[in-house]
Amino acid sequence: MAAIYSLYIINKSGGLIFYKDYGSSGRMDTNDSLRVASLWHSMHAISQQLSPVAGCLGIELLEADTFDLHCFQSLTGTKFFVVSEPGTPHMDGLLKVIYELYTDYVLKNPFYEMEMPIRCELFDINLTQAIQKDRVALLGR
Amino acid sequence: MIGVGKIKQYTNVLDKPLSKGKQEVSLSAFAFLFSELVQYNQTQVDNIAELERRLEDAGYSVGARVLELLCHRDKGNRRETRLLGILSFVHSTVWKVLFGKVADSLEKGTEHEDEYMISEKELLVNRFISIPKDMGTFNCGAFVAGIVRGVLDSAGFPAVVTAHFVPMEGQQRPRTTILIKFAEEVLQREARLG
C-alpha cells in the first residue's frame, strides 16, 4: 500500500507546474489536477488572512478522513504539497527533500523557464529515487 | 620599521611564490553561473550548432589560461611537447584542478589514428542539466570541449574537440565523451620525433 498518493508543485500565481500520481487507484485527469492545484492555492492564501495568529504562513497540514495533505511553501512562493495516507509520518521532511531536488535539478537547469511546467529528466529520476527511499524507510518501520 | 620581519617583503613581484590555488568554490554558485552563461548565449543565437560553438569559444579562453597557469605552477615553467604527455596532462592535472578529480578514462580511438577520447560518467557542468528533447544531441560539455581545445591549441597541438553523449549499457544516464581529433601536422611531427 502506497503511503503517498500524489505530489503537486504550484508556482507563485497558482498554476500547476508539476503533478505526479503515486496511488494505484483512480488517476486524476489533467483538468482536475489543475483545478485542485489552483483551489489549494486560493485556500492557502485565504487561510493566511483568516488566521487569528499574527504572521501566519498558511495551512501546513490538512487532515481529512481519507487523506492527509502536507504543504510546504518556499520563500519565493512556490508551493509543494503531497497527498498521503492519513497519519503518514515524516512528510515535511520529504517535502524539504523535494524542494532541494527542485532547486538543484530545475532551477540550475539553463533550459527551464521560470514559472513554466517542469520537464526535466534529472528531476524526474531523482524524485523517483527519493520517493522510493521514503517508501523503503516506511516499510522498514 | 614596524611590521618588517613579520611578513617577508619581496622587492620584486616576480620573486613572490605563486599561490597554491587549491581553494574550492561552491558547486551551486558555479552551477548558477554556468546556467546563466548558457541562457545568455541562447539569446544570442538562432540554432543549436551556433550555441555549441559559442560555449566552446567561452571554454577556449579558459583552457588557454589554465595551461599557462598550470605550466608555471605545477611544472616549473615547462610544458609537454609530446602527444601522450599533453593528453595525460589534460586528463589528470587539468581535470584535477578544474573538477577536483581525474577524468574517468582516456582512450585512443579504435577507427582513426588521430582520435582520442576522454570520458566522464557525469561531467561536472552537466550535473544539474537536463537537455530538452527538441534540442537533440546538444551537450553543454561543449564548454569543457572548448577548455580542452584551448589547452591543446595553446600547447601547440591544434585539434578539433567535440562533446558527445554516449549511452551506457545498464545505466540510466549516458556518459559524456570528449572527442579529440588532432590536426595532421601534429601526427606528422609525432612520427618525426619517433
pLDDT at B157: 95
Residues in A closer than 8 angstroms to B31, CB to CB, are 108
How many angstroms separate the CA of residue A99 from the nearest CA in chain B? 14
Averaged pLDDT, B16-24: 73
B134 or B8, which is more confident: B134
- On the question of pLDDT at B1 being above 50, the answer is no
Residues in B closer than 8 angstroms to A119, CB to CB, are 130, 132
- On the question of pLDDT at B24 being above 90, the answer is no
With CB atoms and an 8 Å threshold, state whether B130 touches A122: yes
- On the question of pLDDT at B53 being above 70, the answer is yes
Q: Does B35 touch chain A (CB under 8 A)?
A: yes
Averaged pLDDT, A107-133: 92
Instruction: Domain ranges for chain A, please list them.
Output: 4-139
Cβ distance A2 to A22 under 8 Å? yes
Set of cell numbers at residue B134 = 527538441
The structural domains of chain B, ordered by start, are 27-193 (3.30.1380.20)
Of B35, B37, B172, which has the smallest distance from its Cβ to A109's Cβ? B35
Query: A24-33, A127-136, B140-149: which has the highest mean pLDDT?
Result: B140-149
- On the question of pLDDT at A25 being above 90, the answer is no
- On the question of pLDDT at B2 being above 70, the answer is no
Count of H-run helices and E-run strands, chain A: 3, 5
Set of cell numbers at residue A67 = 487523506
**Residues pairing with B107 in the sheet:** B117
pLDDT at A1: 46
Distance CA B100, CA B94 (A): 9
Cβ distance B60 to B52 under 8 Å? no
Show which of residues 91-120 on chain B sit within 8 Å of chain A, judged by CB atoms.
Answer: none
Distance CA B194, CA B190 (A): 6
pLDDT band of A140, cuts 50, 70, 90: low
A106 or B73, which is more confident: A106
Amino acid at B98: L
At B42 the three-state DSSP class reads helix
How many angstroms separate the CA of residue B44 from the nearest CA in chain A? 14
Percent of chain B at pLDDT above 70?
Answer: 94
Nearby residues of A120 by Cβ (< 8 Å), 6 or more positions away: A105, A106, A109, A111, A112, B130
**Angle at the Cα of B136 from the Cα atoms of B108 and B124, rounded to 5 degrees:** 55
- On the question of pLDDT at B118 being above 50, the answer is yes
The predicted-structure confidence for B57-102, as pLDDT tens digits, reads as follows: 999 999 999 999 999 888 778 888 899 999 999 999 999 999 989 9
Averaged pLDDT, A3-17: 92
| DSSP-H helix ranges across B83-124 | 83-88, 95-99
Q: What is the CATH number of domain A4-139?
A: 3.30.450.70
ipTM: 0.85
Cβ distance B58 to B64 under 8 Å? no
